[in-house]
Amino acid sequence: MAFLRRCYTCQVSSVAARYRRHGSGIVPPFRDTVDTVKKLFKVMNHGAVCPAIFRSSLVILILSALAIGGYKARPWTIGAAESYPARLHSEGVTIAVQPLFQDSLAARVFDKSDIVTRGIMPVALLIFNDNDFPVQVDGASAELIHEEDRLRTLEPGQVVHGLFSKDKRNVWVPQPVPRLPGGGRSDAEALDDFEHKFFDRKIAEPHNKAGGFLYLRLPQSKDIRGYLAESRIYIPEISRVDTGAPMIYFEIDLRPAVDAVP
């Protein structure tokens, strides 16, 4: 029995370590966990009858490992205007864009390791205001333009639902299905983070900066780098806050940002 304890404790520790490393947000790879659970029960039933309390302890340990994988908001700060290769300056305002078109780039900002693979590309939109009056930019009106494509941002709720939805097809599930601890809280934390970083409508105060992210649904393209290199971000709704007067639109080529990423 001592051998069995050591065996399944080692296996559960392995599961917990996998969840701590994964960084994929609310739902780490479920199939890997299922396979491990199967192995644990097989080991525990081999050559000995497993007491009910032993099984209960195992379930608690596995659920604790799952809880470790909850979504954690990651810090993000706006850099200097010169650090963004794709930028444009006009009327005392510099606007820069930075498409996070690789999973590794997006994962630096959001606690999800496969955002781009799932078809969502965060695009950072940064405003640097050198004027003596505040400037407002409407991110909802911004578009990514590529030939006939004109892509606008999704709402954070749409993004979180798409990224963290659970596909239960062809997955073995224990019966009865256990209630995972903290799941609702993790959903809320992910939504809070995506909403907090969303560029809906931002105001850059005089001699200050502001920024956030657009969430674009990518078209089915095998060459996303080539697609973006021939695309541009169009930002039509920019205005002075003090008078409400419109300012000139911005149209920023994405190629410099794409070429800057190895």
**Same domain assignment for residues 91 and 217:** yes
CATH of the domain at 133: 2.60.40
* List of E strands, the chain: 87-90, 93-99, 120-129, 135-138, 143-146, 149-151, 201-204, 208-217, 232-235, 238-240, 250-253
What pLDDT, on the 0 to 100 scale, is given for residue 29? Answer: 45
What pLDDT, on the 0 to 100 scale, is given for residue 57? Answer: 54
Expressed as residue numbers, the domain containing 109 is 81-167+180-259
**Same domain assignment for residues 21 and 108:** no
* Residues 257, 85 contacting (CB under 8 angstroms): yes
**Same domain assignment for residues 158 and 215:** yes
Domain boundary among 68, 91, 120: 68
What pLDDT, on the 0 to 100 scale, is given for residue 177? Answer: 34
**Same domain assignment for residues 63 and 7:** yes
pTM of the model: 0.70
What pLDDT, on the 0 to 100 scale, is given for residue 205? Answer: 98
What phi and psi, each to the nearest 5 degrees, are found at residue 261?
-100, 120
For residue 104, is it within any domain?
Answer: yes
For residue 174, is it within any domain?
Answer: no
**Same domain assignment for residues 222 and 129:** yes
Count how many domains the chain has.
2
* Residues 240, 91 contacting (CB under 8 angstroms): no
How far CA 145 is from CA of 29, 167, 175, 252, in Å, comes to: 34, 32, 49, 10
pLDDT (tens digit per residue) in 114-137: 999 999 999 999 999 999 999 999
**Same domain assignment for residues 53 and 112:** no
How many other C-beta atoms are found inside a 10 Å radius of the C-beta of residue 6? 10
For residue 139, is it within any domain?
Answer: yes
**Same domain assignment for residues 138 and 230:** yes
pLDDT (tens digit per residue) in 67-94: 455 899 999 999 999 999 999 999 999 9
What pLDDT, on the 0 to 100 scale, is given for residue 76? Answer: 97
Can you give the pLDDT of all 262 residues of the chain as single tens digits? 554 445 444 554 454 444 444 444 444 444 444 455 455 445 455 544 445 555 555 544 454 444 455 899 999 999 999 999 999 999 999 999 999 999 999 999 999 999 999 999 999 999 999 999 999 999 999 999 999 999 999 999 999 999 987 654 333 333 333 333 334 555 789 999 999 999 999 999 999 999 999 999 988 877 999 999 999 999 999 999 999 999 999 999 999 999 999 9
**Same domain assignment for residues 62 and 111:** no
For residue 175, is it within any domain?
Answer: no
